[in-house]
Amino acid sequence: MSVELKPQRKRRPAWHKLTVDRVRALTDDAVEVTLDVPEALRETFAFKPGQHLTFQRVEPDGSEVRRSYSLASSPRELADLGELRLGIKSIPEGSFSGYANRRLQPGDVLEVLPPLGNFCTDIRPDRHYGSIVAGSGITPIMSITAAALDAGATVTLLYSNRTEDSTMYAAELRELQAEHGDRLRLHHIRTRCEGAEPLLTGRLSPDRLRRIFEELVDPGEIDEWFLCGPYELILGVKEVLEETGASQIHTELYYVD
């Protein structure tokens, strides 16, 4: 008797309807959206810190829009509260980001795919994680940072923004510092106003990063790096990290729309 073995087809992820629980302003052009996840779907939406959700909506003209946004919440929040949080920055003519920032309300229902993405790792308490991010690239880093600190790990974060007012999750990062002390080593870089010191004022160029590594942050202490931001920034940062001998470097180009 012969048996024909056919390759198994992977099931396509299914869309699910999730209700918006809260929408709150993070900056003048960014909001945090909190989704309520019913008990029956919590296993479906279990995620690793750094992963993203994909949303689908139909425009008034009948066209379909799909956009992906990184999760800012930690897995513990999903398990304990049944919540998923995402930071969404509005950009000019952005279809979904403009809708989320100007029209989305608690009680609205969104079509969502389960979490996806490879910008993640298995968090370990004995590791020192480093992150270099710009602007809305902080969103997945918030999830990674919170999970790492919860696990007992140490985090060094270099976070570049134009001004303090344009900094997403500034208050939440202060709270994490207050809670975890020296295990969160946070350095804000300001490109359009004065930073805490001259070294942290101005564009995060490769040369500036080299000086930061010489004077402020020892890259030799970092076990694993996460980089999230525009292509040019991430490319330059990655080259500098490779100069230091770093080998475990996760990168993600961050888009908002």
Q: Is the pLDDT of residue 149 over 80?
A: yes
Please indicate, yes or no, if residue 121 is contained in any of the structural domains.
no
Give yes or no: residues 80 and 28 share one domain. yes
Rg (CA), the chain: 19
- The pLDDT of residue 133 is 97
CATH number at residue 63: 2.40.30.10
What is the tally of structural domains in the chain? 2
Please indicate, yes or no, if residue 3 is contained in any of the structural domains.
no
Give yes or no: residues 215 and 245 share one domain. yes
Please indicate, yes or no, if residue 1 is contained in any of the structural domains.
no
Is residue 255 classed exposed, middle or buried when 0-12, 13-18 and 19+ CB atoms within 10 A define those classes? middle
Domain end among 87, 116, 145: 116
Please indicate, yes or no, if residue 122 is contained in any of the structural domains.
no
What is the domain extent for residue 222? Answer: 128-253
For residue 30, give Cα distances in angstroms to 101, 121, 228.
Answer: 7, 27, 17
Please indicate, yes or no, if residue 244 is contained in any of the structural domains.
yes
Give yes or no: residues 109 and 133 share one domain. no
Considering only residues 61 and 31, tell me which one the structure prediction assigns the higher pLDDT. 31
Domain end among 62, 86, 116: 116
Give yes or no: residues 92 and 146 share one domain. no
Q: Is the pLDDT of residue 5 over 70?
A: no
* Global confidence as pTM: 0.93
* Bridge-based pairing state of the strands 184-190 and 154-161: parallel
Give yes or no: residues 135 and 207 share one domain. yes
Q: Is the pLDDT of residue 53 over 70?
A: yes
Give yes or no: residues 34 and 145 share one domain. no
Please indicate, yes or no, if residue 174 is contained in any of the structural domains.
yes
Residues with Cβ within 8 Å of residue 39, at least 6 apart in sequence: 82
Which of the four pLDDT bands, split at 50, 70 and 90, describes residue 256? very low
Q: Is the pLDDT of residue 253 over 90?
A: no
- The pLDDT of residue 92 is 82
Give yes or no: residues 96 and 141 share one domain. no
For residue 50, give Cα distances in angstroms to 100, 131, 203, 247, 252.
Answer: 21, 12, 25, 19, 10
CATH number at residue 211: 3.40.50.80
Domain end among 96, 116, 136: 116
- The pLDDT of residue 70 is 96
Taking only the tens place, the pLDDT of each residue in 97-108 is 999 999 999 999
Please indicate, yes or no, if residue 10 is contained in any of the structural domains.
no
Please indicate, yes or no, if residue 2 is contained in any of the structural domains.
no
